[in-house]
Chains A and B, each alone.
Chain A
Amino acid sequence: MKRLLTLFIARNKEYYRDRSSLVWSFIMPPLIIGLVALAFSAGGQPMFKVGLIDTAPERFFDPDLVQSIAIDDTKYGQLRVAHHQLDMLVAPPNYWINPNSQKGKVLEALLTQPLTRNEVAGRAVRYVDWVVPGILGMNLMFSGLWGIGYVIVRYRKNGVLKRLQATPTRPLEFLGAQLISRMVIMLLVSSIVYLACDAFLDFMMLGSYVDLLIVAIVGNLSMLALGLVVAARITSEEFANGLLNFISFPLLMVSEVWFSLDGAPNWLIQVSNFSPLTHMVKAARAIMVDGANLWQVSDHIVALLVMSAVLLACSAKLFRWQP
């Protein structure tokens, strides 16, 4: 425990004194969020979005006017109407609109067949509200992968690991110190970034901060564990960088950070379920945008914990001080 604490303190000092990395950690996420808010604040997309349950769009609308999205779950569809993410939900013989949505009212007029009207009220979810959990998750992912994976590879390449190997330090103590150090740093950085963004953008946060913190911890753990697996044996920083990019970019694409996978092929949705980022972002988004509690996102938390356990076991098995 003494060794773990010693290494934890040393790693924290190293991080906080690396000013360029530190500044980048604070600047990058608000910058992206600000740019996104700016880009998407000047008006929405012209097309109507209609959720359909067990029906085809041409039965009720001119298909050229609407973007139809297949929805499996009525409650989920209603929630999206409440948040203005769908202009209408159709499940014959019913349809739902948000009475505060102008688009919903226009769509009502465009219906080609009579259906029973239902209303679901709720505050509009702007794109920035939707995307903030994704960007915070993305920040945790990059920080987890590079902050631990890349750093350990650098330590191995320049001989720091060899020097530590010559001491009584055990691999678990070293890895534990790196993991905890990075976890604390990232939670601190993410909290500051969150507060800064909130002050300027006033994005939606309907759930509990404690629940969000727990999701951030579990999600960060899974990312750090993935970083540890990458760093287990590699000695080349260039290769590590390439591998981390190779891992992170597909994760970004399939994990609903920037856009929803509604309407995407089923196989892609299945693939996305293997991404820890998917579960972290979905759980954070459910808490922030839908006001979900911890129990309601427990499936995501369990998935993250299982992935973390598997990845940590792999990293402990694979880790070598030296090649």
Chain B
Amino acid sequence: MTNLLQVHELRKSYGAHTAVDGISFSIPAGQCFGLLGPNGAGKTTTIEMIEGIVNPSSGVITYRGKPRDETFKREIGIQFQSTALMDYLTVDEVLALFAGLYPQPQPIDALVAQCQLGEFLTRDAAKLSGGQRQRLLLALALINDPELVFLDEPTTGLDPQSRHNFWELVGTIKAQGKTIVLTTHYMDEAQHLCDQLVIMDRGKIIAQGTPDALLNQHFDEVFVCLQAGALNSDLATRFQAERVRDQWQLASNDVQQTLADLMAADVCLTSLQIRPPTLDDLFLKLTGHSLRE
């Protein structure tokens, strides 16, 4: 598979603080590539260095095998984590403004249909709801029909329904064969959307691969979960249960045996849940702290 973009030994320091610490990865063409990590992991700094918004302290970034040049900005689309638009402009005027900044913009009608903006084209862009605003920002990122789309935490702050709507939109972009670079701290988002992942913590990459490969590589077991009151401390120690928020988690290679042992110990199983490992579990295993911390 051809790599569209390559990053080698990328580093960014602000005084004594190192935000990104010598990371390297390749982004294959036509895939959704995710940077997963908690807040402060260095995801946004990394993506903004690739976009050309922030200058790296050191390292090499190549696009189609060459250093990025003037054409790079014409071939990428960006949705920032937070952004503002000019005041007092309606949605269609904002789209026209950004279309005017590119030599060959997409037809606006098609973009409006794709991002479901038709209902509020004449509305003041500052008066959109969170989900509508994110769809407008996505439309702006797509206005030049980019080869490479950067989405920086695009669903942060959205309600579950808006998040799922947005995921569907990202799915349609993927289906068009575009390459997507997505940062997120939602493991379900990364698992749902990303073909390739790097997991970052404190400016470094701690794991890299496809979501399934990463989970298979680090876990043989599934998790048996019980509500907090189901085990006392003696039983928790005996079953090597781990307390995660309001649950006990037991890692198990043999679910039937584990259940038999729990029943033999007269543990109440009414709150029982059995689930496969997630990227959040992987992050916890690799760093000792949760993605949400």
A, B assembled together: yes
Binding site for B on A (CB under 8 A): 2-3, 5-7, 9-11, 13-14, 17-18, 155, 158-160, 162-169, 322
Q: Flag if B53 contacts A166 (CB, 8 Å).
A: yes
- Give complex CA distance A167, B82 in Å: 16
Inter-chain contact total with CB atoms closer than 8 Å: 67
Closest to B78 in A: A166
Q: Flag if A165 contacts B53 (CB, 8 Å).
A: yes
Check if B93 is an interface residue, CB within 8 A of chain A: yes
B70, B73, B84, B102: residue with the most chain A Cβ atoms closer than 10 Å: B84
Q: Flag if A168 contacts B101 (CB, 8 Å).
A: yes
Q: Flag if B73 contacts A163 (CB, 8 Å).
A: no
With A163-B84, A167-B73 as known contacts, state yes or no: A13 contacts B89, CB within 8 Å. yes
Check if B147 is an interface residue, CB within 8 A of chain A: no
Closest to A19 in B: B88
- Contact residues of B between 77 and 114, Cβ < 8 Å to A: 78, 80, 82-89, 93, 96-98, 100-103
- Give complex CA distance A21, B150 in Å: 36
The minimal Cβ–Cβ distance linking A158 to chain B, given in whole angstroms, is 4
With A163-B80, A166-B51, A167-B73 as known contacts, state yes or no: A6 contacts B86, CB within 8 Å. no
The minimal Cβ–Cβ distance linking A167 to chain B, given in whole angstroms, is 4
Closest to A3 in B: B101
Q: Please name 28 pairs of A and B residues whose Cβ atoms are closer than 8 Å in the assembled complex, sorted by A.
A: A2-B100, A3-B101, A6-B96, A6-B100, A6-B101, A7-B97, A7-B101, A9-B97, A10-B86, A10-B89, A10-B93, A10-B97, A13-B93, A14-B87, A14-B88, A17-B87, A18-B87, A159-B84, A163-B80, A163-B83, A163-B84, A163-B140, A166-B53, A167-B101, A168-B70, A168-B102, A169-B101, A322-B53
Which chain A residues lie closer than 8 Å to B178 at the CB level?
Answer: none
With A165-B53, A168-B101 as known contacts, state yes or no: A159 contacts B93, CB within 8 Å. no
Q: Flag if A13 contacts B84 (CB, 8 Å).
A: no
Partner of B85, one of A9, A11, A17, A160: A160
The minimal Cβ–Cβ distance linking A173 to chain B, given in whole angstroms, is 9
Q: Flag if A158 contacts B98 (CB, 8 Å).
A: no
Which chain A residues lie closer than 8 Å to B97 at the CB level?
Answer: 6-7, 9-10
The minimal Cβ–Cβ distance linking B169 to chain A, given in whole angstroms, is 19
- Give complex CA distance A3, B51 in Å: 20
Q: Flag if B98 contacts A160 (CB, 8 Å).
A: no
Partner of A163, one of B76, B85, B89, B103: B85
- Give complex CA distance A226, B265 in Å: 80
- Give complex CA distance A167, B102 in Å: 7
Q: Flag if B73 contacts A168 (CB, 8 Å).
A: yes
- Give complex CA distance A18, B74 in Å: 32
- Give complex CA distance A13, B86 in Å: 10
Closest to B150 in A: A166
Interface size class of B (residues with CB under 8 A): 20 to 34
Closest to A163 in B: B83
Q: Flag if B88 contacts A18 (CB, 8 Å).
A: yes
- Closest A-B pairs by Cβ, 8 of them: A6-B100, A17-B88, A158-B84, A166-B78, A167-B101, A159-B84, A159-B83, A10-B97
Q: Flag if B88 contacts A168 (CB, 8 Å).
A: no
Which chain B residues lie closer than 8 Å to A17 at the CB level?
Answer: 87-88
- Give complex CA distance A167, B85 in Å: 13
What 0/1 pattern do residues 53 to 87 of B give for CB contact below 8 A with A?
10000000000000000100110101010111111
- Give complex CA distance A17, B88 in Å: 6
B74, B82, B84, B101: residue with the most chain A Cβ atoms closer than 10 Å: B101
The minimal Cβ–Cβ distance linking A240 to chain B, given in whole angstroms, is 17
The minimal Cβ–Cβ distance linking B93 to chain A, given in whole angstroms, is 7
Which chain A residues lie closer than 8 Å to B140 at the CB level?
Answer: 163
The minimal Cβ–Cβ distance linking A319 to chain B, given in whole angstroms, is 16
Which chain B residues lie closer than 8 Å to A159 at the CB level?
Answer: 80, 82-84
- Contact residues of B between 13 and 65, Cβ < 8 Å to A: 51, 53
Partner of A166, one of B70, B80, B88: B80
Which chain A residues lie closer than 8 Å to B80 at the CB level?
Answer: 159, 162-163, 166
With A3-B100, A6-B100, A167-B101 as known contacts, state yes or no: A160 contacts B93, CB within 8 Å. no
Which chain B residues lie closer than 8 Å to A9 at the CB level?
Answer: 97
- Give complex CA distance A2, B97 in Å: 10
Q: Other CB < 8 Å A-B pairs besides A160-B83, A167-B101, 5 of them? A: A13-B89, A14-B89, A18-B87, A166-B78, A167-B102
Closest to A157 in B: B84
Which chain B residues lie closer than 8 Å to A14 at the CB level?
Answer: 86-89
Which chain B residues lie closer than 8 Å to A3 at the CB level?
Answer: 100-101
- Give complex CA distance A167, B86 in Å: 15
Which chain B residues lie closer than 8 Å to A6 at the CB level?
Answer: 96-97, 100-101
- Give complex CA distance A164, B102 in Å: 11
- Give complex CA distance A14, B102 in Å: 21
Which chain A residues lie closer than 8 Å to B103 at the CB level?
Answer: 168
Which chain B residues lie closer than 8 Å to A322 at the CB level?
Answer: 53
Q: Flag if B86 contacts A162 (CB, 8 Å).
A: no
The minimal Cβ–Cβ distance linking B145 to chain A, given in whole angstroms, is 14
- Give complex CA distance A255, B83 in Å: 41
Closest to A321 in B: B53
The minimal Cβ–Cβ distance linking A256 to chain B, given in whole angstroms, is 36
Which chain B residues lie closer than 8 Å to A155 at the CB level?
Answer: 86
Which chain A residues lie closer than 8 Å to B73 at the CB level?
Answer: 166-168
Closest to B71 in A: A168
Partner of B86, one of A5, A160, A168: A160
